[in-house]
Structure 1
């Protein structure tokens, strides 16, 4: 259960000195400039993992193959994993518990929308309205996932973000990009934000994750990006919303009266919403899935159990079984929760560049709550959204994800420049997950 505010304040005071030293003790690779092998406009994912890759987060993360410190009492990794790349990390401490080709630059598919959201969410109040014009929807790739946005219709920013997170709508991404001075500017800002996050394997070409020459990311980077995004209240709410109402097309009703009926949209994250062969994962709280020809299936998820918050990213399982990316993610979550506290980490999730270089002191805002950059609105998902009903976590408690917005252990207060370590935020009840009957 999240600690009371007074306890949290006392914790920060007592551990201030220790946390300060942790914030300053950043490996040399963290603050290093972009590796010479950084992706460029002409870069493409390799067919096999390179012999050496980025060492951001630790030298072992730059090695090909599986990296884990197995020892007495540490559970054995699942033997049926087929993903080209994956990573299991403690969201609060930043420890990487195990990985497989963590820095292999691969096509990310719609998991890249996490970076899109982390970059743009703070910019527009959720109640801002926008009337869609034809140019807003120009350039959407054929076969794209769509939420169903129509020209000449007006949508709120809240509507558009529901379309991005739940339906992975490329049309919603393009409309928000148009509001942000266009796709080209949005791509530029996403690449800049990726570099600030030290997601140095990432190169954005299309903001929606649609296959594009040179567009790459890695399991490590996607995990960093998810960790950053989950610090934002709106990001957490949208990422954990299962169903919502989306505005439909205006039509003539009886007696010529114009009627605009909403329709229901459902989150395509199968660990959150469930499917015929995939139950809702107990403790799940988001984040984002993707699937394209070049990328195959990709997924980053976050879940809480017994007070532990884990992030798992899985990229392109070779098995063709239905929903395989979710099944492998669930197995890695299961392993991570059993291994947490027993296995020695093989690396770490690094803090954003400015926080690492400034060595900023841990801190909290005057209210005693963990702060953050602008959220683009309030903490709730707003009218029409239907998050999962509250239910006990795996240990029978209501506790959840404690939040670090799950970014756990290391929380960056971009607005104030402060860097928090091991600080939890309580998430709303919607993050408590029921067990599928």
Structure 2
């Protein structure tokens, strides 16, 4: 009976273990899988490394609506950094932005003519409330006209390397809604165009070059001309008046960046959030509704924060076993060791780290015909590159060539001086007589 009881107990334990495995495994597999984002186009970028960790139709050019204003924000910051204007610079409102402000369909902050506004006031209204008239006023202040400012926008887009873009105005409105104020040199029926990848790269550059932009984009509400203006980013923590209706969208760590909506563009949003020193930049374009853009952004951010961990895959000084001793010609040492001069770090999901390897690529200009490095060699001298190779199934690359660190310099670990003339001469003589001896031996062998 005892034997049967033990046998039954063992069988029960085995059954429980199998049931646990069957129950737990689907959840662990699901955690490592990707996500389905309900948007026409979307992207998620790890800010520290520039690595794209999620992409859905990222190169589809779509109207970005008010996400266009991220470029206007960038050029305002640049003009201030270059001393062209300051936050305290004042300007008055011309007829064009005033007509936009007076049009109720554009729901602006309401501007007054013959009044001085500071750059700071206009920028806050643009970045917090997505106001169109203040955006145009800033464009006119910086470039003289919106048409000239549009040229600056496209030039900066090219400089940044945005892959898909067309800027036709500073606001993101359809040109057809601007009437006689269509910016000079643009098509009256045109719309601004950006892909999710381009919007993310624009946001990446804005945050990287002018992080102070986040100090404004994270403000839920502010005062402007004795009125309270509110941020359209519902993921920010809001005051008591808005809390009940918007609380469901609040997201820990969110501090930007720009919403957008037109009938053609649909609801879109470029978001960014930081938790425990880790930041992501996301873009969703053409979602199903005003709240959906925030719900889909939250899914992207959760995916980034919960699934990815930045790991140092290869440390600085990494050496490939058996390939790091490079032969040296005419040196006091016969070989020199090479190693990577910096670490390679990347966001990792699950066991993805196992899919990374390194390949050496020596600079052929530094090698002789025998594949040897010619002395002298300085410590820290670049000998070639170490290329990081990913052999996994999915790799969406990096947001920009500058952020792609998959090619690392390979440098000499020691100095190898050139051998003195006497030793080089002895070596040459030895080589000469060695060749003669070999020739004689070969000749003699030929006699027999």
Mark yes or no: TM-score above 0.5.
Answer: yes
Runs of 4+ in 1 over 4 A off after TM superposition: 71-74, 138-142
- Match of 2:90? 129
Cα 1:78–1:233 change in 2 (3 A) is closer
Task: Find the residue that maps to 2:215 and give its secondary structure.
Answer: helix
Runs of 5+ in structure 2 lacking a partner? 1-27, 80-84, 176-189, 310-347, 353-394, 410-448
The within-5 A match list for 1:73-112 is 75-79=32-36, 81-112=37-68
Matched, 1:239 2:239: no
Matched, 1:270 2:270: no
Is 2:46–2:281's contact at 8 Å kept on the other side of the alignment? yes
- Match of 2:202? 225
Tell me which of 149, 154, 157 is aligned to 1:191.
154
- Match of 1:164? 126
Shift of 1:139: 6.4
Is 1:75–1:335's contact at 8 Å kept on the other side of the alignment? no
Task: Find the residue that maps to 2:193 and give its secondary structure.
Answer: coil
Q: TM-score, normalised by structure 1?
A: 0.57
Is 2:128–2:219's contact at 8 Å kept on the other side of the alignment? yes
Is 1:197–1:351's contact at 8 Å kept on the other side of the alignment? no
CA–CA distance in structure 2, aligned partners of residues 215 and 135 of structure 1: 19
Shift of 1:72: 5.9
Taking CA–CA contacts closer than 8 Å with sequence separation of 6 or more, which of the two structures ends up with the larger relative contact order? Answer: 1
Q: TM-score, normalised by structure 2?
A: 0.56
The within-5 A match list for 1:197-212 is 197-212=160-175
Runs of 5+ in structure 1 lacking a partner? 1-70, 248-261, 362-437
The within-5 A match list for 1:21-420 is 75-79=32-36, 81-123=37-79, 124-137=85-98, 143-180=105-142, 181-212=144-175, 213-231=190-208, 232-247=210-225, 262-274=226-238, 276-277=245-246, 278-317=248-287, 319-320=288-289, 322-341=290-309, 342-343=348-349, 345-351=395-401
Task: Find the residue that maps to 1:347 and give its secondary structure.
Answer: coil
CA–CA distance in structure 2, aligned partners of residues 316 and 142 of structure 1: 24
Task: Find the residue that maps to 2:59 and give its secondary structure.
Answer: coil
Shift of 1:144: 2.2
Cα 1:142–1:177 change in 2 (3 A) is farther
- The number of residues matched between the two structures is 269
CA–CA distance in structure 2, aligned partners of residues 131 and 215 of structure 1: 26
CA–CA distance in structure 1, aligned partners of residues 129 and 73 of structure 2: 14
Cα 1:75–1:155 change in 2 (3 A) is same
